[in-house]
Structure 1
């Protein structure tokens, strides 16, 4: 388990060192050119399930649990029109103009500790935008659209069928 943590930290450091294209919406409409949507939910102080969900434009869905680690991976499909609807919703809420980190921005005037984050990454036309939404940021109406999008990604993918929490086993 320790080796896995070290490898994950090395991977994150390598990813952070890479330069990325500017986070601007692709020309011609994001949904027409979007490749994938990635939703990651992180652990919290309690028993929050943590996982990575990948929705591809082809309709493929992959689920990988981070916590608990022994949860088997899952896979499924979504309709391309549902994928496009998620990308369109991201455009409507101004996803491409959100700060990369919600905590520490004007969208997070009040934060509590030990809450999970939800990280949404949209890949489109050779560009990507990643938004880390710390759920300890509360009472900010401008976060409503982002939080609704996060929930809709889970709903469209049907991630609930794969989620296991340690206290329900």
Structure 2
């Protein structure tokens, strides 16, 4: 009887020494949303995760309207991220008429709202492409081209 009790207690005592594996790291997520202009600018929302899951929501002037889920390759995600990364603020950056960063604004241009979320930080860039167009030309061009690093032409057409 004593042997049976000791045999039963042994595994219980050893279980106390076991380590619990840590939870897997949450994927990084980039949300990229375009805004309307006076004209036929594509309006959509794109959410892309570092684990390869992407969700497209076409709203107006896109080849596809509604929600579509698709997969992106690691190199596509990295290229998309790399195109946006130089313009990622620490915290929040607003470039809109009426903000400190918009001294001169042309009307009827589109804009973009980008959010980055990682385990340790989240950042936000909101830019109206009509703000200080000469000063911000390179940034606006990179922001507009970034989605084309992903397989997006079937949803929004050619750049």
Give the TM-score band, short-chain normalised: 0.5 to 0.7
> Would you say 1:129 and 2:123 are equivalent positions?
yes
- TM-score (ref. length: structure 2): 0.66
What is the root-mean-square deviation of aligned Cα atoms in Å?
2.9
What is the number of residues matched between the two proteins?
Answer: 131
- TM-score (ref. length: structure 1): 0.63
Q: Which residue does the alignment assign to 2:52?
A: 59
Q: In structure 1, how many angstroms separate the alpha carbons of the residues matched to 2:27 and 2:84?
A: 11
What displacement does 1:145 show?
3.2
User: SS of 1:46's equivalent?
Assistant: coil
Q: In 2, are the aligned partners of 1:78 and 1:156 still within 8 Å (CA)?
A: no
Q: Which residue does the alignment assign to 1:167?
A: none
Q: 104, 112, 121: which is aligned to 2:106?
A: 112
Q: In 1, are the aligned partners of 2:91 and 2:124 still within 8 Å (CA)?
A: no
Q: In 1, are the aligned partners of 2:76 and 2:150 still within 8 Å (CA)?
A: no
Q: 32, 35, 46: which is aligned to 2:39?
A: 46
Q: In structure 1, how many angstroms separate the alpha carbons of the residues matched to 2:87 and 2:36?
A: 26
Uncovered stretches (5+) of structure 2, i.e. residues with no partner: 1-24
Uncovered stretches (5+) of structure 1, i.e. residues with no partner: 1-31, 165-169
Deviation by residue 1:92-137 (Cα, 9 ceiling, x = unmatched): x251248521124454322112222111111111431111110111
Q: In structure 2, how many angstroms separate the alpha carbons of the residues matched to 1:109 and 1:139?
A: 10
User: SS of 1:109's equivalent?
Assistant: coil
Higher gyration radius (CA): 2
Q: In structure 2, how many angstroms separate the alpha carbons of the residues matched to 1:149 and 1:68?
A: 18
Higher helix share: 1
Q: Greater RCO between the two (CA within 8 Å, min separation 6)? A: 1
Q: In 2, are the aligned partners of 1:115 and 1:134 still within 8 Å (CA)?
A: yes
